Amino acid sequence: MSVATEEGRTESAETVRKPPRIPWWANPRVGLVILLILLIALFTALRPAFLDTKLTLVPLQSDISVYLVVGLAQLMVLSLGHMNMAVGRMAAMSAFVMGLVHDQLGAGLVVSLLLGLIAGGLLGALAGLIISRTGVNSFVVTLAMDFALVGLITILYTSVTDGVAFPTLPAGMDALRFDTFADYCLGDVCGPRIPLVVPFAVAAALLVGLLFRFSRLGREMLMTGANIKAAELSGIPTKNRIVQAHALSGLIAGLAGFLLAANNGAFSASIGGEFLLPSFLAPVLGGTLLAGGAVSVLGTVLGATLTQVIYKGLNLLQFQLDQLQLYIGLVLLAALSLDRARHVIAERRGAKL
Amino acid sequence: MTRFLRTPDFTLAAIALLGFVVLAFATSGNLLSAGTLGAFFRFLAVPVVIGLSQMVVLAVGQMNLSVGALTGFCAMAAAWLMLEAGLPAPVAVLAALALGLGVGLINGLLVVFTRINGFIVTLATMTIIQGLRYGVNGPDTFQGYSAGLRAFGRASVLGLPVVFLCALVVAGLVGWFFARTVAGRRLLASGGSPFAARLSGISNDRSLVVAHGLSGLLAGVAAVITVAASGSVNASIGDDLLLPSFAAPIIGGVALAGGMVSVTGTVLAAFLVRLVDVMQAQFGINPRWIDLIIGAVVLGAVLLGTVRQRLHDRGSTA
């Protein structure tokens, strides 16, 4: 670490030149695409059913949608160099609000969804507020929040629903669960076999991508993550940016909770319980660092796709749960190490030039 | 003396003692009956050791997400060695400790050689270890292993369970390691400022490997205590340990940035969390409130620490 700072310092002192371009093969995204193609070929060779539309591809797209959005929720705070350990529980709280609004007030799909998203956003904002006002590490704050919300969610579900899930769903949730665009025809022309939840995830990814690439807000969040002191001195209200990034993280987590509820067919207390690991997997596999200051939305899409392809493939090959976990962990380590190795080689070549 | 009264450890000790006394009165002395008190300390042993296991890696500014899964894996491995491989209990205990140490060292080496963030590395190894833990015996439970080991788990000296005394001895050793040994001081130096440590001729890489190895070894100790005290183990052991492993050092005042440890604080914090647990059992409160309360306590403790630090800074600059 110290070496890097020394080099950086001498370099910037000599000439203010552009950082050397990293060759295309050292780009983690390219590696992910190659890995994806190889794995799909492998799974198809072993089990031709892997390319079966109804059996595999449609549920796979639904799963990717959920975990892509989960990854985006984590990506929002990774841009600051923060973490959101409560990402699953924020999704669960958000889904609870959606279920509650529908169940108690009879609200429709859109109103429930919006109120739930707002609840998620508020929870995120609360985390961001505590972090920015006190300066306490985001890991601790969101971990404590996770603790607190785990308890609260179970209490709320048992007191409101006398069970673990709301008995009813807003109209339209079933369509989100079972239908694909192929079920909707305009004359003779029917849509492709893409589940209805996919557009939600695509829209979320596009919006987050646009936010970080083109909007002032997103760029300032990245600056805050890259160097908070420099950002502060440049007149960026870093505290507000921290609150906003966490609020967006909570809001997107809420969307993930909604999509999972749509896939499962119930607003239940178990939503979000499995979100933590995938939330880090997707962005980190895609080349986003935990250090902050740089994000890759495209990488997150690829990372989420890769993990779900592996899950689905191993599932089809009838691997047991324990082996599934084993291989996911190994693939993660291998992918990260390869990425690191590529980077080191690229740096060495760059240094020789 | 006044300096001691102002330390966070003293505050924690006062809160812990007060809580204990209040709880003893509130349960009209039931807490002090031999059975309840024994159980109180018996189930305090694992949280103390697992908190220390996390504290050791926090000291070098790292995290170890695999502590809980590793504890479960070592426990399952020890039970398997006794029941399926027919090995005597002492061999199984040593093997469990060695396994913990080995996995910890692998964690450390991965962090050093790949230069990937320790959080991510241990997240990955946690997943792998969870798979291995399940693979030892599937969903089935191991029970009926070495009578001697189980007797050790139930034994008490002067009313205090032996496993708890073991945890205290381990805590003492860890404290001594950081306070008195060269290796321990090097860990703290690396955690406090890697750059300064390197200039002083300390290998940060070695510190990372040592810290992760020690963390794994302590997870192995927690596994042995679990096997001895609980009488049966299955693949779910360790699932509920990850959050408490962070709660104890954080409430105890250990900074996530590294460079400092507080063994006393960690032990006292584990004691406090256990008090909350017992309160739930004694009054039949919905266990879910406990998560809520512990979450609030962690946050409160951290906020208090920040406020104290600010007051301290203001005091020293003025």
pLDDT tens column, B204-242: 888 889 999 999 999 999 999 988 888 788 888 887 788
Chain A positions touching B276 (Cβ under 8 A) are none
Query: pLDDT tens across B120-155, in order?
Result: 888 888 888 888 888 887 778 788 777 777 777 777
Which residues have a Cβ under 8 Å from the Cβ of B55 and sit 6 or more positions away? B174, B248, B249, B252, B254, B261, B262, B263, B266
Query: Which residues 166-225 of B have a C-beta within 8 angstroms of A?
Result: 194-195, 198, 204
In B, minimum Cα distance to A151 occurs at B288
Q: Which CATH number does the domain B37-305 belong to among 2.60.120, 1.10.1060, 3.40.91, 1.10.3470?
A: 1.10.3470
In A, minimum Cα distance to B117 occurs at A290
Q: Do A151 and B132 touch (CB under 8 A)?
A: no
Given CA atoms B207, B209, B210, B216 in this order, what sign does their dihedral have? Answer: positive
- Judged by DSSP in three states, B88 sits in coil
Q: For residue A63, what are the domain limits?
A: 50-338
Chain A positions touching B120 (Cβ under 8 A) are 280, 284, 290, 332, 336
In A, minimum Cα distance to B196 occurs at A2
Question: No. of H helices and E strands in chain B?
Answer: 15, 4
* Longest Cα–Cα distance in chain B: 68
Rounded alpha-carbon distances, angstroms, from residue A56 to A59, A90, A209, B71: 6, 29, 28, 36
Chain A positions touching B288 (Cβ under 8 A) are 150-152, 154-155, 158
CATH of the domain at A221: 1.10.3470
Rounded alpha-carbon distances, angstroms, from residue A86 to A147, B4, B302: 8, 36, 17
Query: Which residues 116-135 of B have a C-beta within 8 angstroms of A?
Result: 116-117, 119-121, 123-135
Residue A19 lies in a domain: no
pLDDT at A1 (0 to 100):
36
Distance from CA of A323 to the nearest CA of B (A): 6
Q: How far apart are alpha carbons B44 and B162 in whole angstroms?
A: 12
Distance from CA of B151 to the nearest CA of A (A): 32
Partner residue facing B130 (CB), from A144, A325, A337: A325
pLDDT at B100 (0 to 100):
93
Residue spans per domain, chain B: 37-305
Residue A351 lies in a domain: no
Highest averaged pLDDT of the listed ranges B55-64, B212-221, B306-315:
B212-221
Distance from CA of B135 to the nearest CA of A (A): 6
Q: How far apart are alpha carbons A252 and A263 in whole angstroms?
A: 17
Average pLDDT, chain B: 82
Question: No. of H helices and E strands in chain A?
Answer: 14, 2
Pairs of residues, one from chain A and one from chain B, whose beta carbons lie less than 8 Å apart: 137
Chain A positions touching B126 (Cβ under 8 A) are 329
Q: How far apart are alpha carbons A92 and A143 in whole angstroms?
A: 15
Partner residue facing A322 (CB), from B63, B134, B243: B134
Residue A304 lies in a domain: yes
Distance from CA of A178 to the nearest CA of B (A): 31
pLDDT at A67 (0 to 100):
93
For residues A117 and B268, the answer to whether their CB atoms sit within 8 Å is no
pLDDT at B195 (0 to 100):
83
Q: Do A155 and B292 touch (CB under 8 A)?
A: yes
Query: Which residues 284-303 of B have a C-beta within 8 angstroms of A?
Result: 286, 288-296, 298-299, 302-303
Burial (CB count <10 Å: 0-12, 13-18, 19+), residue A262: buried
Residue A16 lies in a domain: no
pTM (predicted TM-score): 0.80
Chain A positions touching B294 (Cβ under 8 A) are 147
Query: How many independent structural domains does chain A possess?
Result: 1
pLDDT at B315 (0 to 100):
63
pLDDT band at B86 (very low <50, low <70, confident <90, very high): confident
Partner residue facing A147 (CB), from B63, B204, B295: B295
DSSP secondary structure string for all residues of B182-216 = HHHHHHHHHHH-HHHHHHTT--HHHHHHHHHHHHH
pLDDT at B312 (0 to 100):
66
**pLDDT mean over B255-275:** 83
Lookup: tokens for B107:
């964690």
pLDDT at A16 (0 to 100):
46
pLDDT at A193 (0 to 100):
77
DSSP secondary structure string for all residues of A67-83 = HHHHHHHHHHHHTTT--
Chain B positions touching A320 (Cβ under 8 A) are 134
**What residue ranges of chain A have pLDDT lower than 50?**
1-16, 353
Q: How far apart are alpha carbons B50 and A21 in whole angstroms?
A: 45
Query: pLDDT tens across A207-253, in order?
Result: 999 999 999 999 999 999 888 889 989 888 989 999 999 999 999 99
Q: How far apart are alpha carbons A318 and A329 in whole angstroms?
A: 18
Q: What is the ipTM of this complex?
A: 0.74
Query: Which residues 9-48 of B have a C-beta within 8 angstroms of A?
Result: none
Give the H/E segment covering residue B135. helix B118-137
For residues B118 and A280, the answer to whether their CB atoms sit within 8 Å is no
**pLDDT mean over B257-285:** 80
Chain B positions touching A329 (Cβ under 8 A) are 124-129, 131
